[in-house]
Chain A
Amino acid sequence: MKVLLIEDDVAVAQFVAEELIRAGHECDISSDGSEGLVAAATQCWDVLIVDRMLPKIDGLSVIEALRARGDSTPVLILSALSEVDDRVKGLQIGADDYLVKPFASDELTARLEAIFRRAGVNRSEYKTTLEFADVVIDLMSHKVTRGNRDVSLQPREYRLLEYLMSNSEQIVTRSMLLESVWGYHFDPQTNVIDVHISRLRQKIDKDFDIPLVHTVRGVGYRFGF
């Protein structure tokens, strides 16, 4: 992925750039809003990472300006402000995700890949099914099958599987699942997500030779081979 990072904090910018390069991505840095807006508007990027508080032009104004000129490049906001209002404001203005500082590099890369992938899916034709290996989800009827067998899922389990399959072969963190499936932006501090994943695994992987729901220790989960 080609990433533009608009961040005025040198230490944070260096850390993020190092982590992205280490994960195999390209990264350029702009140190203020004005410079960042020019770079975003004049070059082609896969994902933008924009700090909320920037010198010259505020992060939200940068995103607003880009969206106003029809630029739909996925944007992830970085912010030290963890209040719900700020998160909502950022997403309303056209950002795709919101990450509160400080963050783990795994969390950042997982979220970047998720919004990049989501943008690609959105650009492609409208889908009525999700498929991976022998698992099929009918997005219209919410019917799930693996092989020739119907899998009966509770509504929340269905949403969990749908999110995992939308990001198949990608790592998704626990907080990404909590945000996307339950809409919670706090950490419950317990293994509550593990229990839900475990129940889903029982229904999806039980009696099948190839497990598809994997735990990535210390980070989250991955749906794939």
Chain B
Amino acid sequence: MSRFNLWLMLLALALLIIFTLHTSFKLFDQLNRDVSGRLDFLTTLCQSEGIDALTEVIRHQSYNNHSASHLYYLESQVSSPIFRGKYYASEDSMGGFLNFLGALFDHPTDLQQTRLFLSAREISPSLSLTIGRPYTTEFQQLVRLVVNVALMILCFWIGALITTAIATHRALAGMYALSVDLERIMKTDTSEMLSTRSTMPFLTEVATIGNALLRNVSTRRVAMRRVADNIAHDLRTPLTRMRSRISRLRLKVPRELAGEADQLLGDCDHLLGSFNALLRISVLEAGTPIRLHGASVSLTTVLQDVIELYEPVAQTKQITCVCRLARVPPLTGEAQLLAQLFANLLDNAIKYTPAQGCVTVASYLVDPRHVCVSISDTGRGIPDDEKRAVFEPFYRCQAPDDRAVGHGLGLSLVRAIVHYHRGVVTLHDNHPGLRVEIKLPLQTSA
């Protein structure tokens, strides 16, 4: 039960108590005024017309009438009344009310007993009159009223409890759906927006704010990409000229400086490679993913060609290359991009596997609509906390010997190509080493 519901229940109880007290006081006041009025009348009658007139009235109203609404008791000495039942007698209004209230909760034990409101007055020094007013019916009405109100309050409270539970559940379900959507958008890195079609206004507001945030991120990403593109494009041309001039200069410099010139050429090639990869990633990420009913590509042929390209490199490093390629249906894709994708992964696998290690390339059907290609090595692998970050451009693993290898864009390009083919790339531990799994959709009919 929530704190809100607890407070609601306490408030309902307080209201019930106030209502009971108020209604009881009204009953008390009504009975008090009735009995006091009769006492006043009979006292005046006795004083003006004598004791006979008084007894006549009492007899007439009480003893001859079995259904009398009042009981009278006249005695020459003031003493305790002889009425049977629960009664009240007091002149003091507040104390009388408290006594009356106490009597309300004191249920008669004998069914013959009746609830009486008693009041006595000394008419003369030797004569006292006591009037008893039964109020069982009024009491029952009061109890019924209080019970009804209590039931109403209980119903209201249970209703509020159910409504709150439903509203909370719907709000939480809506929030959960929003968080799932947001996580998916962040993971897939698309320009998709959150749905604002919610029946709950505050969820619509949250989704609208979320969309504004996503648009902002997307705009900044596009702007950043444009700047990167411009830098890459504008720097490529002068860099290429510089490379050509160094290449010419190398033929003229003395032999002892040729090594320096070669290093300069290597640096130029490294920079050009980075720029080309950046531009390629940018083009792939900016475009819409491939349609799944386009030109078909034989995945097995692409893989066999790439493996054949890299096998001598593995042999040179004394690494065993194992192929387990299943017969899979063709998929829609661009053979050049797929070749580049697997070349990058195979290149990495060979690069990070020590001598006498093993690199395995396998392809198999996951289900009738998807094929999986796994490339595993027996190298040092990638720690779990870096498995996501390695796909970011220019990210370097924490391992100290990783810093000088490659231009840091290989896996970013892999991710861009996989997403372009509507696939998913995941990294797993190979115990030891790394296993890269690429799940790609197969060709569908148009």
B-binding residues in A (CB < 8 A): 11-12, 15, 19, 22, 80, 82-84, 101-106, 156, 182, 184-192, 195-196, 199, 217-219
Contact = CB atoms under 8 A, between A and B. Distances in A.
Given A84-B334, A104-B243, A186-B339, A192 B310 contact: yes
Contact of B240 (A84, A103, A190, A218): A103
Interface of B: 233, 236-237, 239-241, 243-244, 246-248, 250, 258, 261-262, 265, 273, 276, 279-280, 283, 305, 308-310, 312-313, 316, 334, 336-337, 339-340, 343-344, 347, 351, 406-407, 410
Contacts, number: 81
A186 B343 contact: yes
Contacts of A186: 336, 339-340, 343
B262 A217 contact: yes
5 contacts: A102-B239, A102-B241, A189-B406, A192-B347, A218-B247
A219 B247 CA distance: 8
Given A102-B239, A189-B347, A189-B406, 16 more contacts: A84-B336, A84-B337, A102-B240, A104-B244, A105-B248, A106-B247, A156-B308, A182-B305, A184-B343, A185-B336, A187-B276, A192-B312, A195-B313, A195-B316, A196-B309, A196-B312
B244 A184 contact: no
Given A104-B243, A184-B336, A184-B339, A190 B313 contact: yes
B38 to A, nearest CB: 111
Q: Which residue of B247, B280, B334, B351 has the most chain A CB atoms within 10 A of its CB atom?
A: B247
Binding site of B, secondary structure by majority: helix, strand, loop or mixed?
helix
B298 to A, nearest CB: 14
Contacts of A101: 236-237
Contact of A182 (B239, B279, B309): B309
A101 B279 CA distance: 12
A173 to B, nearest CB: 11
Contacts of B316: 195
A223 to B, nearest CB: 19
Q: Which residue of A12, A84, A218 has the most chain B CB atoms within 10 A of its CB atom?
A: A218
B312 A199 contact: yes
B195 to A, nearest CB: 35
The 7 closest A-B pairs by CB, nearest first: A102-B240, A105-B244, A218-B265, A102-B237, A186-B340, A102-B236, A195-B312
A190 B347 contact: yes
Contact of B248 (A22, A182, A187): A22
A11 to B, nearest CB: 8
B346 to A, nearest CB: 9
A218 B340 CA distance: 23
A80 B234 CA distance: 12
Given A104-B243, A182-B305, A188 B347 contact: yes
